[in-house]
Chains A and B, each alone.
Chain A
Amino acid sequence: MSAIDTLPAVSDPMLPSRYRVVETHMDTGDTVTLDLEPVDGPPLVYTAGQFTMLHAFGVGEVPISISGDSTRPGPLRHTIRDVGSVTHALVTAQPGTVIGVRGPYGTGWEVADGRGGDVVLVAGGIGLAPLRPALWEICSQRDAYGRVVLLYGSRSPDDVLFDPDLRSWAHDHGIGVEVTVDYSPPSWNGRVGPVTTLVSRAGFDPAHTLALVCGPEIMMTLTASALLTRGVAAERIRLSMERNMKCGVGLCGHCQLRELILCVDGPVLPYSRLAPLMDIREL
């Protein structure tokens, strides 16, 4: 038993709770999904779109969106891309490793607002991970929604995440899944080009659509523009903004976007509120 295992359970939001890695899954060459269970205390209750602060003891802490299915009991799931020292420590954690979790934090997708109409989800790269809980929530009450379309852009076929889920959403839940890649080998028979080009042809009724968008900011801006051109109202376009979150509870101000503290006011916000701020380069 390590010293970490002997620490007491905590309730202070600035102190992490201990979770044990129970399973890991290599999604791509640099992206891993971790399944976590609490060492003590109840499972985390969260809504689709929220994030946690994951703590690799002795290395540091990073904000990571929850990528699991909030409608079913099961381990707390995060999908993490290896891009720095903390994420490297997390993606290389083996089953049995204890890591810290704070949260859940921030606003969710509020998917239920799309009931009775169409929903279009646009993901770029690792941005599919925060949207996965939204997709599973829709699937859990599929009849409540009209047409549901997932437009997913990836760097290459090797970087495509969650292939079994993509197939299940398409075949078992009647979701229109369109995948495109920026770069392709000769063996790829699918679409090539930016995900924004799929918006104009996607099958949804713009007047009755809720759009959920997650990816790099440039991709989200261009996607929002394409959705506006299709006729989706700005307040019905929701983006997940993830800028330099540090404390997760609105204290430190690192994720401030003028009047918004994104870890508390976001990460999910309507484009109608974000658009004026995203155009200001100094922010």
Chain B
Amino acid sequence: MRTIAELLEDSPFFAGLDAQALAVFAGCAQTARFDTGELLFRAGQPADTFYVIRHGLVSIEMHAPAKGAVTLTTLDDGEVVGWSWLIPPYVWVFDARAAAPTSAVSFDGACLRAKCDADPALGYALMQRVSQMMYERLQATRVQLLDLYGDAS
């Protein structure tokens, strides 16, 4: 059986981190499984965890009155689900739901924030990766908003 630190090596999010840093991250982590349709987290609830998908598919959703759940994006193997654990007031803004049977590594956000506070170099390495992820998600959202395949394209 592979250790959690070894599992993290599969995710591009952790690429470039040495074994010592991975061990620190792994110290705040455990494995998790979700069935199709199961919520990883729900909007409005405290954001105290985040996930790295090992295998599966997770949809980021917003509940709209009269429409139900609107899927904003989906996340695949190796991708990180959730960043509200890092930003006050630490409350989820969207729902995250398994769109397929999903295995993941779950991180304790409070544990990780404490370790980053104690080790700014580690915190900087984490923030670089979170910033890169936010940048990529923002760019993807902008492209979606262009409605490239609509009537105007």
Contact = CB atoms under 8 A, between A and B. Distances in A.
A184 B64 CA distance: 13
Interface string A211-243: 000011011001000000000000000000000
Contacts of A192: 59, 71-74
A196 B149 CA distance: 14
Interface string B130-149: 00000010001001101111
Contacts of A124: 148-149
A194 interface: yes
B146 A218 contact: yes
A100 B127 CA distance: 60
B110 to A, nearest CB: 30
Contact of A154 (B69, B78, B136, B149): B149
A185 B100 CA distance: 16
B119 interface: no
A243 B123 CA distance: 49
Contact of A155 (B69, B136, B147): B147
A189 B100 contact: yes
B80 to A, nearest CB: 13
Contact of B149 (A155, A184, A200, A201): A155
Interface in A140-161: 153-155, 159
Q: What range describes how many residues of A lie at the interface?
A: 20 to 34
Interface string B54-80: 000101000000011111111011100
B140 A193 contact: yes
Nearest to B153: A216
A220 to B, nearest CB: 10
A139 B135 CA distance: 38
Of residues B36, B59, B77, B148, which shows the largest number of chain A Cβ atoms within 10 Å of its Cβ? B148
Nearest to A189: B99
Q: What range describes how many residues of B lie at the interface?
A: 20 to 34
A191 B74 contact: yes
A186 B99 contact: no
B148 A215 contact: yes
A197 interface: yes
Contacts of A194: 140, 143-144, 148
Interface in A151-175: 153-155, 159
A83 B153 CA distance: 10
Given A192-B73, A192-B74, A153 B149 contact: yes
Interface string A254-276: 00000000000000000000000
A130 to B, nearest CB: 14
B77 A201 contact: yes
Interface in B60-108: 67-74, 76-78, 99-100
Contacts of B78: 201
A155 B73 contact: no
A222 B147 contact: no
A29 B117 CA distance: 55
A193 B74 CA distance: 7
B151 interface: yes
B76 A191 contact: yes
Given A125-B153, A191-B74, A192-B74, A197 B148 contact: no
Contacts of B100: 189
Contact of B68 (A186, A215, A218, A222): A186
The 6 closest A-B pairs by CB, nearest first: A125-B149, A155-B149, A194-B143, A193-B73, A216-B148, A191-B74
27 contacts: A124-B149, A125-B148, A154-B149, A155-B147, A155-B149, A159-B149, A180-B74, A182-B147, A182-B148, A182-B149, A183-B144, A186-B70, A186-B71, A189-B100, A190-B74, A190-B99, A192-B73, A192-B74, A193-B140, A194-B143, A194-B144, A197-B136, A197-B140, A200-B12, A216-B148, A216-B149, A218-B148
Given A180-B74, A193-B144, A196-B140, 11 more contacts: A153-B149, A186-B69, A189-B100, A190-B99, A192-B72, A193-B73, A201-B77, A215-B149, A216-B149, A218-B148, A222-B143
